[in-house]
Amino acid sequence: MYIEYVEKLDAKSLLEPDLFDELFEIESEFERESIVLQLEDRAKILGVKTRFMEIYKLRKRDYKNLLKAEKQVLTEVKTGSYVTEFTGQEHSLDCGSWQCTDSGVSIITEKGPLVACSHPIYPIGVLVNAETNEYKVIIRFKVRGKWRETIEDRDTIASSNKIIALASKGVRVTSENAKLLVRYLSDIESLNEDLILEMMSTSRLGWIGSTFMPYEDEIVFDNEQNLRTLFKSIHLNGFRDSWYEHMKEIRKNRRLELQIYLASALASVLVEPCGTLPFIVSLWGGTGRGKTVALMMATSVWADPSEGQYMTDAKATTTAMEIRLDCLNSLPMTLDDMAQIKNQYDGDFSELVYRWCAGKGRDRSNQKLGLNKLTSWRNCTLTNGERSLISESMQGGAVNRIIDVEIEDRDLFEDGNYSSKIFRQHFGFCGQEFVETIKEIGFEELNRMAEEKVKLLKDIAKEQNQEKEDKQILPMALILLADQIATDYLFKDDIYLDSNKCCDLLKNKGEVSEHKRAYEYLKDMVTIQSFHYADSIDEAVNGNTEFWGYWKDADTVVIIRSAFSRILDQGGFQSKAFLSWAKKNNLVECDKEGSPTRNVKIKGSSNRCVFLRMVDLDEKKEQEDEFGEIPFD
């Protein structure tokens, strides 16, 4: 509320109509006038006291006139004991002095009837959100011969200023009848607490404790107004057997890409019960290979894969994406064609990856100077594109969160058009049955099975004399587990994911190191831009070419510090952090004080330079394992 943050209000907020609406909703005159004094002081500081007081006096006069009119109405109301008589209502409700018929809602006074609404309307349920404990009310109303429903915040139908917003939903409410409609809805709810039931609600899908939305009857989804298309897309459609038969035919081809994509769509709902972080599965390859159809296949596990339904566009804003992820919660987010936003991120999706895999959104203030509810999610994101989501300059932490799957040089589907038609006509069965299976297995057993998959992947890596990144092992373990459960309980075709091939997809420890990738990038740039370097300190490069450094010997290049930093910055790496790592790994020559740069006089001027060893890291490691650390000559 505005008036809870008086000391933070700016000049514009002090003159907002909503602030005065809140002010005159305070019943206690003493409390209201106390706040007015605080607001007046704040307005004086900001130089808008005169304008503030003018508006306040006008609104106060209107408020007194309204109270007077209401008082007159109250004294003239003819008391009665009526019940609602709406055609098509489930049961009659006690409506006190209100007369409720198909022609609308009114109350009789000595001067005649006053109309609260010109059509049938009444509350049918109260929702208490499981995450926020906030109340919403389900309002049922009939216009143009059709019954409709809307879910509204409690404070919306409790305020004559805010209830006017219902006009956009079809309710015939204006500033003239708003006050009476608020009073009617409040009266009918208080008179029928035994009939207007309170229910638990949620604005999120997926796991809510041990229950799973939208497959629960005892929990109501109350976010339909904002994400209607998404919510409506998650349902059963077509024939179960048609989807399963087609999927079994696809699975017979044992395409690793499709098996992983299918298992990942299911593994999304294992993230929360197994206590892991969100992850991304990126499918990439040449155009026309069937990437979009593969995403439709994964989406059809849960929902309608038709364009504009469950699948979304990568071009959505950050806030929109967070709201969508918060609503999906446990269900996978499916994004088609990441190439659409490649230029927006200069080809480096590190920021986006961190955001999606953080599992929570950013703190954001609202118009009332408070904080909005923090968004959060525990799921998997499925993407596709013609190029890998991973770039050379991507930060190591981001690389760790991506399962990167390259498509073989052949089509994913024998007949992509036919497959896409099947997925659009038959969907939603597999996801619901998978959730039911998970509940039967139980979370405790699920975690035990996941630990077995982790051990399996580590054992395979050990046999191959490799050590995989833990942050990659965990999501792949969930993918293998989802595949096993789906194969054993749903498909029953004994076509399992190849654990060895899945292990090969995981990054080795060190391979993901941002500093090692920066080192390889530096060596490449020195080679590609060799014209910037002289063969020795005594030689100079072409006069038309910018001078960046020189070769000390065959294995060591000397790079002027400013040029060195610029090269790394262009690659998306931090030079200071890299130099610290390079020093520890004996890849730079330090000065007497231990600094990773040295002072060198070049062409008569003194320059700080980096003496960079140009070596093969794998070969260097083998030599050091055998002979110990190899120093500079």
pLDDT tens-place string over residues 384-415: 988 888 766 666 677 788 899 999 888 999 99
* Residue 404, strand partner residues: 282
> What average pLDDT does this structure show over 36-47?
87
**Burial group, residue 269, by CB count within 10 angstroms (0-12, 13-18, 19+):** buried
pLDDT at residue 367 above 70?
A: no
- Cβ-based neighbour number of residue 389 at 10 Å: 23
Q: Decide: 173 and 183 in contact? Cβ < 8 Å.
A: no
Residue 210 binned pLDDT confidence (cut-offs 50, 70, 90): confident
Packed helices 291-300 and 256-267: angle between N→C axes, nearest 10 degrees: 40
State residue 372's pLDDT score.
59
Kindly report, residue by residue over 541-563, the tens digit of the pLDDT.
Answer: 766 688 999 999 989 999 999 99
Give the integer Cα–Cα distance in Å for 452 and 403. 20
* E strand map for 287-415: 312-313, 333-336, 380-385, 402-406
Residue 122's contacts (CB-CB under 8 Å, 6 or more residues apart) are 84, 86, 89, 93, 100, 139, 140, 141, 185, 188
Per-residue pLDDT, 76: 46
pLDDT of residue 146: 93
468-501 pLDDT, tens digit per residue, is: 888 899 999 999 999 999 999 999 999 999 999 9
In this prediction, residue 522 has a pLDDT band, given cuts at 50, 70 and 90, of very high
| H or E stretch at 137 | strand 135-143
The Cα-based distances of 71 to 66, 108, 264, 481 in angstroms read 9, 14, 64, 68
Is the bond into 214 cis (omega within 30 degrees of 0)? Answer: yes
Confidence of residue 458 (pLDDT cuts 50, 70, 90): very high
Confidence label for 369 from pLDDT (cuts 50, 70 and 90):
very low
- Cβ proximity of 129 and 201 under 8 Å: yes
Tokens of residue 285, six digits: 């390859």
For 626, left (φ over 0), alpha (ψ -120 to 50), or beta? Answer: alpha
> What's the pLDDT score for residue 226?
66
> CATH topology for 232-364+371-505?
Rossmann fold (3.40.50)
Cβ pair 157, 183 in contact under 8 A: no
Three-state secondary structure call for residue 106: strand
**pLDDT in the model for residue 68:** 62
Q: DSSP characters for 575-628?
A: HHHHHHHHHHTT-EE--TT--SSEEEEETTEEEEEEEEE---HHHHHHHHHHH-
| Lowest pLDDT segment from 18-22, 439-443, 534-538 | 18-22
**Which residue in 428, 384, 421, 391 sits closest to 406, CA to CA?**
384
pLDDT tens digits for 85-103?
A: 999 888 899 998 899 999 9
Is residue 454 predicted with pLDDT exceeding 90? yes
Closest CA to 131 of 355, 362, 374, 356: 374
Handedness of CA 413, 291, 258, 442 (dihedral sign): negative
Is the pLDDT assigned to residue 622 strictly greater than 70?
no
Whether pLDDT at 632 is above 50: no
The whole-angstrom separation of Cα 235 and Cα 123 is 27
Closest CA to 268 of 394, 374, 403: 403
What does the pLDDT average to over 292-299? 96
Q: Is the pTM of this model over 0.85?
A: no
Is 224 or 105 the better-scoring residue by pLDDT? 105
pLDDT of residue 9: 83
Q: Give the side-chain half-sphere CA count within 13 A for 16.
A: 16
Residue type, 41: D
Q: What are the residues whose beta carbons fall under 8 Å from the beta carbon of 209, sequence distance 6 or more?
A: 130
Q: Which residues have a Cβ under 8 Å from the Cβ of 256 and sit 6 or more positions away? A: 405, 497, 498, 501, 502
Supply the mean pLDDT for the chain.
Answer: 86
**CA distances from residue 242 to 172, 425, 427 in whole angstroms, order as listed:** 46, 9, 9
pLDDT for res 34:
83
Q: What is the pLDDT of residue 325?
A: 92
Give the pLDDT score at 147.
Answer: 94
Nearest-angstrom CA–CA distance, 268 and 383: 13
In this prediction, residue 626 carries a pLDDT of: 46
At residue 75 the predicted structure's pLDDT band, cuts being 50, 70 and 90, is: very low
Q: pLDDT by residue (tens digit) across 568-606?
A: 988 878 888 899 889 988 999 999 888 999 999 887 889
Q: Are 96 and 191 in contact (CB under 8 A)?
A: yes
pLDDT at residue number 633: 45
Partnered with residue 430 across adjacent β-strands are: none
Q: How many CB atoms lie within 10 A of CB 414?
A: 11
Nearest to 556 by CA among 613, 498, 489, 499: 613
Does the pLDDT at position 287 exceed 60? yes
Contact 306/424 with Cβ under 8 angstroms? yes
Confidence band (pLDDT; 50, 70, 90) for 2? low
Give 346-365 pLDDT, tens digit per residue: 666 777 888 888 888 876 55
Asked if 562 and 546 touch (Cβ cutoff 8 Å), the reply is no
pLDDT at position 627: 42
pLDDT tens sequence across 233-266: 999 999 999 999 999 999 999 999 999 999 999 9
629 has a pLDDT exceeding 60:
no
| 402 within 8 A of 210, measured Cβ to Cβ | no
Q: How far apart are CA 582 and CA 513, in angstroms?
A: 12
CB atoms within 10 A of CB 138: 19
Neighbour-count burial for 571-581, b at 16+ CB within 10 Å, e otherwise:
bbbebeebbeb
Phi and psi at 577, nearest 5°, equal -65, -40
The amino acid that residue 8 corresponds to is K
* pLDDT, tens digit (0-9, with 9 covering 90-100), for 260-282: 999 999 999 999 999 999 999 99
Domain parsing of the chain, residue ranges: 2-76, 82-202, 232-364+371-505, 514-627
